Chains A and B, each alone.
Chain A
Amino acid sequence: MKFYYTLLLFLAVSWCTQAQHTLSGTVQSAANTPLDGAHIHVAQWHGTSLPDGYYEIHNITKGTQRVVISYIGYKTLDTIINFNRDVTLNAILQPNTTQLEEVVLVDTTVSQHTARKQRLSAEIIEQYSNATLGDALKEIAGVYTLKTGTTIVKPVINGLHSSRVPVISNNVRLEDQQWGMEHAPNLDINSAGSISVIKGANALQYGGDAIGGLVLIEPKKVRTDTLIGKTIVTGNSNGRGGGVTTSLHKGNTKGWVWNVNGTLKYMGDRETPDYILSNTGNREANAAGSIQYLGDTYDLGASYSFYNATIGIATATHIGNNVDLVRAINNGTPSVIKPFTYTINAPKQEVQHHLAKLEYNQTLQNNASLNAEYAFQLNRRKEFDLRRGNLKATPALDLTLITHSAQANWKQQKNNTTLKAGLSTLLQSNEASPDTGIRPLIPNYNKIDAGAYAIASHRFTNSFSAEAGIRYDFSYVDASKFYQKTRWNSLGYNGVFDNFITADFGTQWLTAPEFTYHNVSASLGVRKQLSSVLDIMGNAGLAMRNPNPSELFSDGLHHANGTIELGNLGLEKERALKLSATVLKRGDVFTFEATPYLNSINNFIYLQPTAAEVTIRGSFPVYSYRQTNALLAGIDATTQWKPTQRIQHTLNFAYVYGENTTDGVPVIDMPPLNITNTLRYTVPQWHSLFLELRSEAVFSQTRYPDYNFFVAVPQDGELISTLADVSTPPEGYHLFHFGSGVQFNLGKMQTAVNLSVHNIFNTSYRDYLNRQRLYTDEAGRNIQLQVKFNY
C-alpha cells in the first residue's frame, strides 16, 4: 500500500514541477571512439555515458544552464545551453596532450567491440509505438520482415528468421513458440528502453545458435535520482484505431530504482487501396514493471512483464484445399470482403506471455563483476479456425509453453583485456491440449539445455583489437506424440524410427522421440582503426542450431494455411559459418557504413512445397521440411549525409543472394533488394520542427526456386490441370512515406506532436515475404497522429 502512496506522491510531484528537459547525445573522442564513463554535468544534474558513448540526463529545468563534459585524458568541454526544449549534444573531446606527455596513458582509441551493434533511436521506437517490434527493426539496413498479414511481423536478418534470430529481452531469451513462420515475438515494443541488432553469430553470451543474428532489447535505465514519465497516444486512420502507452521511471544512483509501463492497443480491419481486409483487427493489453536495489557493490532486481494479444487473421486467407488455393491465386481479389468492423472472428490467434525475472549483480575486486539470474516464462497460444457446430469456440491449436532458465555470468576488465565467461541452463515443457479435437501440429515435449561460454577481448595496439569466444551447448529433447500409422509409413519411418514407438493404439502409434545434441560454436573478431575516422571490423562465426520442434514433429493439416506441413525426424542440426566485415567511416558531414557478409550453412532447414496429397477435402499442397546446403551472401550499407545543419539524407541498402548449393537453385523466401532514402529537414528554432520524406523501394525477387504444382480443377464436367503458382514473387514496389513533428511546452509538460503518413500515394502492392501475399494486397495508406507527453 505504502508503495502506491509513494507512487501517487511522485506522480503529483512530477506534475507540479517546472518544465523539465532532457539532454542526450554521445561522447566521443576526436578519433570517433565512444567514451565509456564520461561525466556530464548540467548545473546540479549529472550523468555518465554508456559503453557506446550514449548518455541521457533528465529533469533539467528550463533556462540557461552550464554543461560540462569531462573524461580523464581529454580536454573538458564547457559550454552554456539554453534549455527550452530537449537538447541533443554530441560531444567530441580532444585528447589532453600535456597529460599524454607527462604520463604514459593507455590511449583508448580503438574500441574492444569487434561486432557492430546497430541501435534504433528512441524516436523510432516511439514512432512504432502502435506497431510491432518487427516493423521498427526494418529501419535498420539488412533487416527485412516476414509477415502474416499486417500484425504478425517478425524480423529477417540477412535473409534468416524465426529460431535463427533469437530475441533477447532484458538478458532473457524469449521462448514464445516463435518457431513457426506465423508466430511473431510476443513483446510490447513500448517496454523497450533500447533495441539493437547484432548481425552474425558474435553474441556467444546469449547462445550459440544465432545463425541469422540477434535482437537485443534492454529496459530503460536512468542513472540519476529522478522520476520521469512518458505517455504516448497514437491514432491511426488505417484500422481506425490506436493505442496508448504510458511509463514511469524512478532513477537513482543508489537505492531503489523502478519502472512501470502499460500499453493498450485497439485496431479494427485494415484496408488496402481497393478493399477491406476482413478480420484483420487486433487488440493488445500489456503491462511490465521492474524494481531494483542498487547497493555499493551489488544490485538486486526483479521484473515482470505480461503481453496479451488477440490477432485476427484475414478471412480470405482461410482456404479448404488446392482448388480453393488456385481460385484465390487466380482471382486476384479476396473471396471474402465484408464491411469494416472492429469485431475479430475466427480465424484468430490469442497469445499471452508472462515473463518474470530475478537478477543479482555483484561487483568484485579487480574490476570484476558477477551476474546471476533466473527467469520464468509462460506462453499460452490459442489459434482459432472456422469450425462447425459446437466446436466454433474451441481453439484448433492450444499450446502451453513453460520455460525456466537460469544463468550466471562473470566479467573481468584488466588493462587492455576483458574476459567474460558464463553458464546457462534451461528447462522447458510444451503441452498441446488434446481438447481441441484436432491432432496437434506441435506435440508435447520437454527440453533441457545447458551451455557454457568464454570470451576474451584484447586491445593489442592503439588501433587494433581482437575478440575470441567459444561456447558449448548441450540440448536434450523428448517428445510424446501420436502418429497415424499411415503417416508413419508414408514418411518412411517404418523400420527406421521403430525404437521411438511405445504403444499401439490401433490406427495410431504412440511415440516418444528423443534427441540429444552437443554443439560447439565460436567467434573471432578483429577491429582495426585505419584513420581517425575510418574503422574496419572483421568477424568469423561458427554457429549451430538444432532442428526445432516444428521442424522435427509438424504433422498434419495446417488449417490456417490450408497446407499439410510435415516435419522430419531425420533432420540434422544446422551448421553455419559466417564471415562478415564492416567498414565504418564517421564524420560530421558524411557517415558511411557497409557490411558485406558470406554465410555458408550446412544442413539448412527450409519448408518446401513438395507434393499434393488427396483427402476427402480435396487435394492439399504438402510442405515438407527439407535440408540442404545453402550459401547466403549479401551486403548491407548505410550512409548519412548532412550537408547543412538542417538537412540530412540517409540511405539504407540491402541485398542478399541465397543459393541452395545442393540443388543449384535459389533459396526460397529471400528478401528482395531494397533501398530506402530518407530526406529530413529540421528547424530547431521553430519548436524543433522536422519534416521527413522517405522513399522505400523494394525490387521484385528474381531469384526464386520454382516449387509450383498443378491442380485438377473441375470445370464443365472435366478435371482441368491448372497451375498453382505459389512460387513466383510479386512485382516490386515503391512507397513514399511522410513524417513530421514539433515539440512545445503544454503547461508543465514537454509535449511532442507527430504526424506521419505511411504509403502516401495509397499504392497497392504485395510483398514476397508476406505469407498472405497469394490472397490479399498489403494495407494501404495510413495516417498516424501521435501525441507524446514527457513529465
Chain B
Amino acid sequence: MAEVTQIIHNYLRHDKKFPHVFCPGCGHGIVLGSLIRSVHALGIPKDDVVLVAGIGCSGRIPVYVDFNTVHAVHGRALTMATGIKMANPKLHVIVIMGDGDALSIGGNHFIHAARRNIGLSVLVLNNFIYGMTGGQCSSTTPQGDWSTTTPHGAMEKSFDLVNLTSAAGANHVARGTTFHVKTLDKLMTNTLTKPGFNFLEVLTPCHTQYGRKNKFKNPVEMYKWLKSTAMPLEAYNKLAPEKRGNRIPIGVFQEREETPLEVSYENMRKQLRGA
C-alpha cells in the first residue's frame, strides 16, 4: 500500500492543489488512481502526457496531476484533444469526461471523434447524473430513475455507451467500474496503449447527487450495487438472455485494428510530397 501511495504522490501536484474538491465516496479519485498507476506501469514520461477534460466534477481531475493538463469547456474536450493530437501525434492525449459532458452536450463531438478513429484514450466517468451542477438528469440516467430534473422519474431512454461507441467506429471499446479496481487497471493500461480511438467507460458512484435520490443510503451501498451488478463480459455472454436481468457486463467489447486518423494523415502527406 505504501508503495502505491508513493507512486501516486510522484504524479500529484500535492503542494499546490490539495485538499481536493471531491465528496467522500466519489469514484472520480479511484479512476485517477488507476490512470496514474497505468501511466507509471507503462513508463510514459509525464511530459508526453496531455490530460484534457471537460467541465463537471470529472473536469476537475486534471488540476491535481503533474502532466500537461487542459480544463476545457463543457462538452468540447474532444475537440481540443483532436487539435492537440493532429498537431503532435507523439503526445499521449488522454481525455476525461463526465457522462453529461461526453454524451449530452458533447455527443456530436463524441461520435465524430470515434468515427475518425483518432488516437486518443477516452475515459467517460459515468455516474448517471450531472454531479457538479446538483444532480440533474443526464443522457445516461436510467429510465425511471430520479434526479432534480426528473422529479417524477426519468421518461427518456438512456444511451448504452459501449454500443454507441462501437457503432460509431472506435477501434477499442471497454467498460469497467470503480469497484473492480484490478480489472479497471488492466482495462486502463489497455486504453493507454492501443492505437486509434480507445474508449473506456467507467461506472462510478456519485452518492451525493445520484445515490441519495435513488435509494442508496450511503456510498458503501453504491459500491455494493456495482459489485453485484457488474460481471465479466465472457460470463455475461454465457448467461441465457432471460437470466441477464439488469446485470451490466464489463470488459473489452470491441477490438479493431484500423489505422488511426493521424497515421493515415501522415501517409497522405508523405504521398503528396512524393516522399
| A complexed with B | no
Q: Which B residues contact A (CB, under 8 angstroms)? A: none
Q: Which A residues contact B (CB, under 8 angstroms)? A: none
